[in-house]
Amino acid sequence: MPFEVKMPQLGMNQDSAVIVAWLKAAGDKVTRGEPIFEVETDKATMEVEAAGDGYLAGIRVEEGADIPVGDVIALIVETEDAVAEHACAPVPASVEATETAEVAPNPTPAPETTAKAEETVAPAPVEVRAPAPPALSGPILASPLAKRLAKERGVDLAALRAGGLPEPIHAADLSRAATGGQSQLGARISGDALTALLQRSENADRTVLFAAFAAGAWRDVFETDDATIAIRGLDGATVHYPAHGEAEAGAAMSLVDLCDTRLQGYAPASGGITLSVGADTDQFALTLSFNEASLPMAHAITLLDAIAARVEDPIRQLI
C-alpha cells in the first residue's frame, strides 16, 4: 500500500504552506526521517521528513505552490517498479484550483413575433478604468525566508506591495516577480522652471530635488507615508532620501542622476524600480525602469506622470 505524503500543520494557526523545494525527485529512495521537501510558512522555513521507507512517487505539486494543510502532495511506494504506476503530472504553482458547479443550460428563448421584439438596442457604453493604486501603510508582512532572500537579491518588498502583491509575501513570490524582464517608460519635459530655481539658490541640490519629486509622487500615488528614495551615485555609493529613511525596510525606488553626462537612461539588470534623469538642452529626460510583475503598467504610468509634473513645476511641489 502506498503511503500518502500530506502537507503537515507546522503551526497552530497555519492553514497552508508553500513548497520551497523538493529535496528528493520521483523515483528516489527515501528512508524514514530523511528530509524530502522544504516548506515555508508565515513564520519559518523547515524541512519535512519522510514518515516511512520506500520510493518517492506521484509528486502532485511543483515548487512555489501554496498547499492547504492535509492535502496529499506525493506518495511513498514500497518498490521501485511501483513508481511508474503512480506517476502524475504535478500541478504548477501558477494554476489555482477552482470549484466546479453544475449549471443548468439556458432555455432557448421563444421567437418574438412583435415588431418591438425585433428591434435591436445598442448596449450602453462601459467605462474601463485603470486599477486604482493600493493604499499602503504599516510594516511589510513577509516570511523570514522572503525577507532574507529579498535582501540578498536586492528585491524591494515595498515595491512589490505597491504593485499589488498580496501580503504576507513568500519566497515563491520573489521568484515569480523576477520573471519577465524590465519595462521602461520615458518622458521629456521642459527644464526651464527647475533650472531657474537651481540658479536662484546656491544651496539647492539638483539630485536631492529629483529625489524629493520622486518621493512626493510616490506618496500621493500610493497614498502612503513610506517613500524612501535610494540615490545611486555614479561612483557606486548609495544614500537615502530622506536621510532618516529606513534602508532595511527597502526603498520605494532608486534614482540615478545622469544630467552631468551624455547619457539619458539607465535600466538595472538586477530589476527593481529605477528612475533615471538625463539632460538634453532645455529639457529633462525621465526614464522609469520597472518590472510589471511588481509594478503594473497602469501604476507606472501614473507614477511617472506625477513625477514629471513636479519636475515641470517645482515650486508647486515644494510649497
Does 215 score more than 60 pLDDT? yes
Residue of 140 and 270 predicted with greater confidence:
140
Bridge partners, 229 (sequence order)? 241, 253
What is the pairing mode between strands 72-77 and 3-6?
antiparallel
Residues with Cβ within 8 Å of residue 275, at least 6 apart in sequence: 210, 214, 253, 254, 255, 256, 286, 287, 288, 289, 304, 307
Instruction: Report which of 242, 59, 244, 183 is spatially closest to residue 255, judged by C-alpha positions.
Output: 242
Q: What is the pLDDT of residue 107?
A: 46
Is this structure's pTM higher than 0.85? Answer: no
Q: Is residue 306 very low, low, confident or very high in pLDDT (cuts 50, 70, 90)?
A: very high
Q: What is the pLDDT of residue 3?
A: 81
Q: What are 165-201's pLDDT values in tens digits? A: 777 777 767 655 555 568 899 999 999 999 998 888 8
Q: What are 97-153's pLDDT values in tens digits? A: 333 333 344 444 444 444 444 444 444 554 444 444 444 556 777 777 777 777 766
Q: Domains of the chain, with CATH numbers?
A: 3-85 (2.40.50.100), 144-318 (3.30.559.10)
Phi, psi of 15 (to 5 degrees): -115, -5
Number of H helices and E strands in the chain, helices first, is: 9, 14
Q: What is the pLDDT of residue 248?
A: 39
DSSP structure class, residue 313: S
- The mean predicted confidence, pLDDT, of the chain is 77
Q: What is the pLDDT of residue 285?
A: 95
Q: Measure the CA–CA gap between 160 and 62, rounded to whole angstroms.
A: 23
Q: What is the pLDDT of residue 9?
A: 79
39: helix, strand or coil: strand
Q: Are 246 and 252 in contact (CB under 8 A)?
A: no
Q: What is the pLDDT of residue 91?
A: 52
Q: Are 318 and 303 in contact (CB under 8 A)?
A: no
